[in-house]
Each structure stands twice: as structure tokens, then as C-alpha cells.
Structure 1
Amino acid sequence: MMEGLFTANNVWMMVCTALVFFMHTGFAFLEIGLTRQKNTINILFKNIFIITVGLLLYYLIGFNLMYPGDFNGYIGSIVPGIGAPENGMTPDYADGGYTWWTDFLFQGMFAATAATIVSGAVAERMKIGAFMIFTVIYVGIVYPIAGSWKWGGGFLDELGFYDFAGSTLVHSVGGWAALVAVYLLGSRIGKFKDGKPQAIPGHNIPLATAGVLILWLGWFGFNGGSVLSADPELTSLTLVTTCLAAAAGGVVASLVSFLRYKNLDLTMFLNGILGGLVGITAGADVMTPESAIIIGAIAGALIVFAVSFIDAIKLDDPVGAIAVHLICGIWGTLAVGIFSTNPDHTFVAQLIGVACYAAFCIVTSFLIIFTLKKTIGIRVSEKEELEGLDGHEHGMDAYADFRMNEH
């Protein structure tokens, strides 16, 4: 019986790993759909770079840095490579929830997501080389250290901070870096005219819509797998709260957007769904369905106001990554302290956790990106930006007839 349960648990975790991997397709579709045709290859290249290099880095140093075993609670040591412990393939490992290798692969998929969030925010104007260097350092070192504070049994775990599947550990860690990067990069040419934000429409909204639906599907693995077993009660509850929050986020974002702007904005609807998903991720396993709807609804409303606020302070985020991943990530993390069915989860512990990650991610991402800005530069030239990064940085176009249609 134990062997059968162990196998079932491990198969579920591998299915979830595949679903989280599929999210990278969703991110890629969403980002290219919401940006202009001339930068499509550039965005796809970044997304492929993130998942390939992210996995290799996680194997080389990330996994051991994030799950160091006994350590000082703040930073583990860099031990290259990974080797399964003696019980790594047996039910003795992880309470029979999965094997050591499944553990590595599932966590590795999460690691790459943080940099993908930054990719969308800096789209259409960041040098590819600078972005690649940033990704290597942020995914290779910063993310695993941040992850160890909670998921590796570090000081925030001991403090009682709770983040089930990464509203803060994944989404805010990416969101803070996106905020810093956008600030240091500056806005795209033509985004602000006489101080007023101008719409720069994406070239393929159907593709962006497909991306969001793929991401929603992928979240079944993102949150469902974070149960870390195939426990029937917890996995089913988690998927219900995840879906209800996503639905509420989308509906409320579209309604609030309609009331404010008098139009039915599909992109706001889409980002509302993502905001709901990010918001529920910190506490999907400790919420009632009713709480999940409230959390998602508030996240959806936050999206609309956050997008206009980010425009108002002259920050240019082409895909709404800061509003979705940072703002809703913070909200979702704090919501655990308000709505959790576990009395041990406190608002104060959640607030301390959010503050610690904010400080760490702002400082590290600023140091990395500011150093790159002062050395190799982070912004493409005006000519490259106007003509498109695809031709200048990659020597190719995403669509064969592109040059005849634009510029």
C-alpha cells in the first residue's frame, strides 16, 4: 500500500512539474502578444534563455543554496551539483510525497519564473546581453537565497511567515526586480507625451489571451504541486481556491475598469485573472472558497488602480508585470494573515516577511542592474528601439512579411 501511494504521489508531482514548465509557453505568448511585432524574437529568445539557463544554474548551485539543510537561517553555502541522498528514491524521503529528483525538477521550474516576470517589464528596450547577465545572477544566487529563508527552513520560516506557493517568494521576488529595472531603464520612446501616458498597443491580443489561459492551466501545477503530495483533500481544495480567485480577479478587474474608463478592456480582464492567481498563491491551501473569492476580487480591483498608478509615476511596464506580480503578490501574502484558517498565521509575521523580501530584492537587483548600466549599458540605442530589437540584436524577424508592413 505504501509503495502504491508513494508512486501515485510522485506521478502527481511530475504532472505538476510539467504544468509549471508549460507556464513558460504562457508567459512567452502573453509577453509577445502585449508588445509590438518588431520585438517578438527578442522576447522569445529571453524566455527560452531563462528556462534553459535557469535549470542549469539550479542544478549547479541553486538547489543546494535554497535547501541547505542545517544552516544559519540566512544564507547557505554554495555546493556545486546535486546528488541524491541514500533515501532519496524511497518513501522515507519527503514523507513519501515524491523522490529527490522530482523535488529538484519541480523547484527548478519555479526558479526560472522569477526572471520571466522581469522579462515582460523590460520588454522592447533592454539590451539582451545585460538581461542575460542579470538573469544568471538573479536566478542563480538571489532567488535561491531568498527561497531558503522560508522554504529552506530559514529565519522567516522559524518566525512563522507563510507562503504556500510563492506570492512573495516567486512573484514578488520577480516583481521587485521588475520595478527596479523599469526605473533604471526609463520608458519606451513615445510612451509619455507631455507627461501623459500614451497607449502602445500589443500586436497580437489573441496570443496574449491564449497565454493567460495557459498560465491559468499551469497554475494547477504551480499551486496543486505545492501540496507536495497527491493528498486528495488538500489538492482538490487548493485547485478550487485557485480557480475561484482567478475567476473573481478577472470579473472584478473588468468591472472596475468599465466603471472607470467606460469600456470593456480585454487586457484588464486578462491581467485581473493573473492578479487573482498571484493573490491566492500564498495561501491557497488554507483558505475557504469564500475567502478565495474575496482575495481574488480585491486583487482584480488592485490591478486596475495599480496600472494607472504606475503610469502616473512615469514608469513604463508594457505587460503590467509590476501590478500583477508585485502588487498582487504583496496583497496575497498579507491576506494569509487575514483569511487563513490556520490560527498560527499572523498578519505581523506576513508583514515582516514582505518587508524582508522587499529590502533584499530591491538592494540586490539595484546593485546588479545599476552596475550593468554603468559598465556595458542596459538600454538599446534610439535607432535600435525604433526599428525593433529583432533585426538589430537577432538578425531575424518573427514574421516573414514583417518588413513590408512596418517601418
Structure 2
Amino acid sequence: MREADIQINRVDWIAVLIYFALVFIGWINIYAAVFDSQYPKEIWDLSINSGQQLVRIGISIALITLIMVADYRFFENLALPIYILFIGILIVTPFLGKEVNGQVLSVGFGSFRIQPGEFAKLTTALALAKVMERPTFDLSKKNYQIIAFTILLIPVGLILLQPDTGTAMVYFSMLLMFYREGLPQWYFVLGFGLVAVTLLGLGIENNLYLVGAIVVVVAILVSLGRRTWQRTVVFSLIGLGLIAYIYSLDYVVAKLPPHQQNRIMVLFNPNIDPLGVGWNVTQSKIAIGSGGLLGKGYLEGTQTKFDFVPEQHTDFIFCTLGEEFGWIGSLIVIGLFTGLLYRLVVMAERQKNRFSRIYGYCVVSILLFHFMINIAMTIGLFPVVGIPLPFFSYGGSSLWSFTILLFVFIKMDSSRATQLGRLS
């Protein structure tokens, strides 16, 4: 049997079918989000978002074809050059890009524009896989940690200059891959600890309660074990540092742009201004909740039809699903995402070299972060940060970047039988 036939037979068709199912469901929901019952248009009409998205889906299929016929080594050989290229594009984006709502996110010519920050996730994943594939690369050692974090943080810093906090946050999801490849656990304990303290510090109106809790915890820890004076010094310094950090949060938040301050306020108090800064989240939850068990029916959502939720065809596309297809429809889509993520983990673990495995876990991390944060955002469990739902949300950069990200890994997995050496 020819090599091409072997690779086709080794394609993970379950992952491919889930991808197309998600794209199709997303497409019909984009149509529902822009449907006007008074002036109805066909779903493929190029004058509305669903028609434009259909063109982008067609381009995605062309991209998939190119990826699947390419040599899997192409992505490995060009990993670092492509990463450097997109770092250059990110550098010039604030100067040459188009400004929208105070953000310079896209570059291009005329009506064709892309968001480099979306595609830089792919190039960063490839660069990390290329650098970390060496058998001697050990994330338990400081010098290798510095190299990995530098590759990760360069695009983060450039994206924050645009500024695009939501996209920059996505890159930290690749810490999940770092954990799989041996990053010490204390990094994650420290990270989750800081997140917890930050949320508590922002959410508790009187920070003195949290300060008091820290003092109690420090006192308990000091009383444990031997060498009490050393423990006293260490934990006292930790306690003082946390107290200083908590009180600095108010200053940091005060320096944020007004719209980001409002998002933080709404997260902890959704009813603070339901007709103003809390409008998006409030209407989003109403739309999802009103769908009930089975939903109101396709194209019958009142919240959707009367445009109560802004940006419902992009970041808040899950609202349309929840209102018109209900709890059952939402559960099916969540199940599809969960199934895709499970398949990707299985695929990552069966790779024959570190490059493919590391890249696979980057794909898992990015998709998982987008999936969780987008849905949490629409139900008020996370601030509104402009995170699209993979394969669902309207937009070319989003769909194409996720498609390339996913199918590059599917291609690597289908070629695993022909990959040589570098067994881990």
C-alpha cells in the first residue's frame, strides 16, 4: 500500500467529523443571530454574516486540503522562521494596523484583513515544540525554563501593546503543555494561588476580612513543625507580601481603561448597572436561561431576534444556541467540544516524537481555554474579554487560525508511522 494511502487511513476521522459538526452548527447559529423575520434572506446570501462565513468555511476546506497533502516535516522545518515572521508582524501591527474601539488588532489590504494575534498562537505552539523537542531539553532546569517562557512571553507582550488582553491571556493556557513536559508543580501552585488571592481581593468589598484570614493562616503554619523561628520569618514575609499585593489591587484596577474596570465590577456584582455596563452579561444570561430544556426553536429566539445581546454572532454566539436549542442543544455542543478535546489528548499521547506531542498539547490547551472562557463569559462566571468560541464565532481570522491549528496536528498524527527517531 502506498504511503499516501497509509496516511489517509491513519487520519483521526472522529476529530475531523467533530470539527465539521461544530463548524456547521456554528454557521447556522450565525444565521440565527442575524436573521430578520421582516426582511428574511437566504443563509448563503453574501450580504449577511452567514453568507460571508460560508465563504470563509470554503477557504478553510481549501486550507485543510493543503495541510493534508503537505509533508508533515514542512511544519517542523519552518516552525522558527514562521514564529519570527509573526513576531515581526505583531511589532508593526500597532503602527500599520486598523484601529477599532481603541484597539489595533488587524492588518491587511482593503477589506481583507487578519488578526496576527490569532495566528501567532499557532506559530508560538510550533516554535515551542521545535525548541523543546530536543531530548536534553528539561523544564525542571532554570535555563530551559527561561528559554520556554521567553518564546511564550514575547508575543504576549506585543499583543498587550495593541492592547488585546483577551488574546494575550490565551497564550498562558500553554502552561498546561509545560506541566505535561515536566515544569515543576510549584509554578502552578503559585499561579493558582495568586489568581485565587486576586479574585478574593477584588471580590471582597472590605479587604480587611481577607487580610485577617491571611494572618490566621500564617499563624497556623508558623505553629507547625520544628525550627519555629525560621518558619516565622518565611511565612511572615509571605503574609506581608500577600497583604501588600491585596492592597495594590485597587491601585492597579484604577489604572485600567474604564471598560476593563467595568468588566471586573460586573463579574462580582452583575446587578450593579443592568442597563449599562452589565447589559451584555445580563441579557446573555436571560437568553440562555429562557431557552429552557428544549429551546424556543430555530430562528424563534426573541432575545436574538430583537438584538438584546450585542456581538451575538461573535463572542456571544453561545447565547443563540442556548436560547433556540435549549439545555439539550447546549449539552450536545459541549459534548462535541469535550469529545474533540479527548481525542486530541489521545492523539498527543500516541505520538512517536516530542515535537508532535508538544504541539498536540498546545492545541489542546488553546482550544480548552477558548471553550471554557467563552462559555463562562456568556453566563457571567468570567469577565467579558473578547474570547471567540472555536469554530463557532463569526470571523475569518478566528475560523482559519483554529482550523490550521487543529489540522496541522491531525496531519502530524496521520504521519506518525513515518516519523523517524526522537522517541521520548
TM-score, normalised with respect to structure 2: 0.26
Question: TM-score of the superposition, structure 1-length normalised?
Answer: 0.27
